[in-house]
Amino acid sequence: MSGMALVRKPGPRIAEGIVTHLQREPVDHERAAAQHDAYVAALAGAGWRPVYVPPADDLPDAPFVEDTVVVSGRLAVLTRPGAPERRPEVESVATVVRGLGMNSVRIAPPGTLDGGDVLQVGSTVYVGRSARTNPLGITQLSALLPERRIVPVDMSGVLHLKSAVTVLPDGKFIGDPRCVDLPGMVVPEEEAGAHVVLLGGDRVLLSTSAPQTATMLERRGFIVIKVDISEYEKLEGCVTCLSVLVAD
């Protein structure tokens, strides 16, 4: 599998990003920029061509591009983030996806939806009920994706659904049972191990902060590509947050 990866470079105000469940720590902009470059290089090395959304230096959370759009085939569902200060991030993403020839639709007020709450597994879309995604947003997503089965998911103690659970190449969930309850879930060795990006085939992208989980996944036969995103993890970010993959 290959295609495009929508990404956005971090701006100089990234340290001001929203923190909800963690104690705020200093974030080094230069280190964050270098980590982002390495992250994008890892995607490119796995066959995903980077497509950069224009910089948004006045929007601290802008590199977490996943929250602004949900892609289903050639349809881009432009979200309406639950945090009002993040809503200006969406317009530049809308311009890029239209430039790529994708059809686009929108979540309308008063609905809210963050892309980090949307986990797509085959024809099923799991959507977290969170402080950022409200019931109307989930209802609208269901109407916009009539060919997909939408499954709302309760969770606790995390910002987004994909902060607690993602999916492995074999279709099994990997996640924290303290935060979410889904069937047949593989429990990672570290919290960051709950976050993987599927790169195609048996390849997954994983944070270097989950070395024991990496070993576990390699023993299961997966190819694990590791990236350091420590500056983003200080802001409740994970490997899924920093890109939106659009398959060819």
The answer to whether 129 and 152 are in contact (CB under 8 A) is yes
Side-chain-side CA neighbours of residue 132 (13 Å): 29
Instruction: Look at the alpha carbons of 120, 79, 71, 36 in this order and tell me if their dihedral is positive or negative.
Output: negative
CA distance 118 to 140: 13
CA distance 75 to 147: 12
Pairing, β 124-128 against β 149-153: parallel
Q: Provide the β-strand partners of residue 160.
A: none
CA-based nearest residue to 62, from 81, 45, 75? 81
Positions marked active-site: 160, 241
Task: Give the number of other CB atoms < 10 A from CB of residue 146.
Answer: 7
